Amino acid sequence: MPAKYHINTQPVPNRFRPVIRSGVIAWEEGCLRCVRCVKKECVYQVYEKRALDARQMLDSLDSICKDCFRCVQNCPNRLIEKGINPTYKALGDEYWTPEIISALWFQAETGRIPVSGGGYGGPFSGPGFDAMWTDMSEIVRPTRDGIHGREYISTTVDLGRKVKALEFDAGTGRLISSIPPLVELPLPVIFDLLPFSPPGRLITLAILGAARRMKTLAVVRASAWDTDYEPYLDHTLLYLDEKTDRLDRLLGALRLVEIDDAPDVLSRQAALKAHNPGLVVAIRLPLDDNSAGRTADLARAGAEVIHLIADAHGLDWQKPPMFIKDRMKQIHLHLVNEGTRDLVTLIGGGGVAMAEHMAKLIICGADAVSCDIPLLVAMECRVCRRCSQGIPCPVEIDAVNPGWGAARIGNLIAGWHNQLLEVLGAMGIREVRRLRGEMGRAMFYEDLEKEFATLGKRS
């Protein structure tokens, strides 16, 4: 049995003051000039340390305040108020909400699971992943504690093509089956291409550094390849977005490459494997109505890994769009019916914003997931997308120190890994491979609504 996979963490401070949910409003008009002002009695010395961050135009009071409300309650003329910070409300968008962004910031800074102490506060239904609940029935057992080491839970996954059965020589007992190459990762996450980003050499170095530390893979465009990336070849998934001889010398050192789906994609896969027989080739396939049929065709024809891509909000490229969890269920069940599911590895990406999304997408049929925007958020991104409009990044991610960025991403993934262990332990599952396609261990809001509607008609 391999050693337990563990990610060491340590706090990595923010470069900029974090944008927090609540803001302080202190009215001066009407002040009674009390001898003992409640501002001076603040145990955290918030008002004494108050200053304006000129780079961000943020009041440091908001980020220092611990929300004890002592000043709000004790001011005799009720001149101090707490309210929702408008800068916080402006973070992200309808999918990448301020709550998600602030939780990712917390994990990137501390490496800890963001637990409030008051239990999960919802939402308990809604679009996307919120309409799905996982089985936690085993959480009451005292031995179910993968984080603190009382049981062994494996998060290892294999990327590559599998064989249905092994064949042996009848006379000698020698294995005669041809075993395809596999890439083993200690956790079911790869780092994907960023849908938006400031100029990215330092950002890519930070992501590659984190991939090496996590012992996983980071997708890098061949068209943007830099010689500075070569020390990370063993943890690079090279996306061949251009046909060039410039990178042929790298193919012998890589474990996995990715190519776009096309009519001749399997011929291109064969050519790459002729160059390096130990290479695993992934096929990048946008999600739409034809994905299930196309995935089955590729699986039958010899595809090894299929990387299924949705947009940044987890929606496929069909109109009207379908959410990635529903599309992944459709593809997985189609392959099961075809008898080809165990031959091919499926990676799902797009809209994976939290650790629970990783577990839920695996339940829906993915072998592993790819994440993108959370890597930027770990480096203090606010998902404002100004960089995509040519406007300078407000938190200067393009000037990030790669070591600092790698440490922040490492903390984030450590928090995700621990949450995955919590889910697996609470479900009584000891390895993440068994979680794949376990839809009977989850509840889906849409299915429950249909069931209740049927019961209502019967009654």
Q: What is the pLDDT of residues 97-130, one digit of tens each?
A: 999 999 999 999 999 988 765 566 667 778 899 9
pLDDT band at 17 (very low <50, low <70, confident <90, very high): confident
Alpha helices in 198-255 (DSSP H): 201-214, 248-251
CA dihedral sign, ordered 55, 85, 10, 7:
negative
Average pLDDT estimate for 374-381? 97
What's residue 18's pLDDT? 82
Is 224's pLDDT higher than 70? Answer: yes
What's residue 142's pLDDT? 53
What's residue 116's pLDDT? 62
Average pLDDT estimate for 368-376? 98
Three-class SS state of 258? strand
Is 226's pLDDT higher than 80? Answer: yes
Mean pLDDT over all residues of the chain?
Answer: 89
DSSP 394: T
The predicted-structure confidence for 289-301, as pLDDT tens digits, reads as follows: 999 999 999 999 9
Share of the chain above pLDDT 90, in %: 60
Q: What is the pTM of this model?
A: 0.90
pLDDT band at 150 (very low <50, low <70, confident <90, very high): low
What's residue 336's pLDDT? 97
Helix (H) or strand (E) holding 105: helix 98-110
pLDDT band at 49 (very low <50, low <70, confident <90, very high): confident
Is 84's pLDDT higher than 60? Answer: yes
What's residue 53's pLDDT? 64
pLDDT band at 21 (very low <50, low <70, confident <90, very high): confident
What's residue 78's pLDDT? 86
Winning range, highest mean pLDDT, from 61-65, 125-129, 176-180, 285-289: 285-289
The predicted-structure confidence for 266-292, as pLDDT tens digits, reads as follows: 999 999 999 999 999 999 999 999 999
- What is the full DSSP assignment across 427-445? HT-SBGGGGTT-GGGEEEH
- Rounded CA-CA distance 131/452 in Å is 15
CA distances from 45 to 60, 65, 77, 234 (A): 12, 9, 21, 49
- Rounded CA-CA distance 307/81 in Å is 50
What's residue 383's pLDDT? 96
Instruction: Give me the CATH code for the 22-90 domain, please.
Output: 3.30.70.20
Is 83's pLDDT higher than 90? Answer: no
What's residue 216's pLDDT? 98
What's residue 26's pLDDT? 75
pLDDT band at 332 (very low <50, low <70, confident <90, very high): very high
Is 220's pLDDT higher than 70? Answer: yes
What's residue 382's pLDDT? 94
Which residues, 6 or more positions from 196, have their beta carbon under 8 angstroms from its beta carbon?
A: 385, 387, 388
Beta-bridge mates of residue 396: none
Considering only 63-72, 197-206, 393-402, which range has the smallest mean pLDDT? 63-72
- Rounded CA-CA distance 54/251 in Å is 48
CB 220 within 8 A of CB 237: yes
Q: Where are the domains of the chain?
A: 22-90, 157-450
How many CB atoms are closer than 10 A to CB 233? 16
Q: Please, what CATH class does the domain formed by 157-450 belong to? A: alpha beta
Q: Does 157-450 match 22-90 at the fold level? A: no
Average pLDDT estimate for 163-184? 86
What's residue 28's pLDDT? 74
What's residue 57's pLDDT? 55
Beta-bridge mates of residue 185: 157
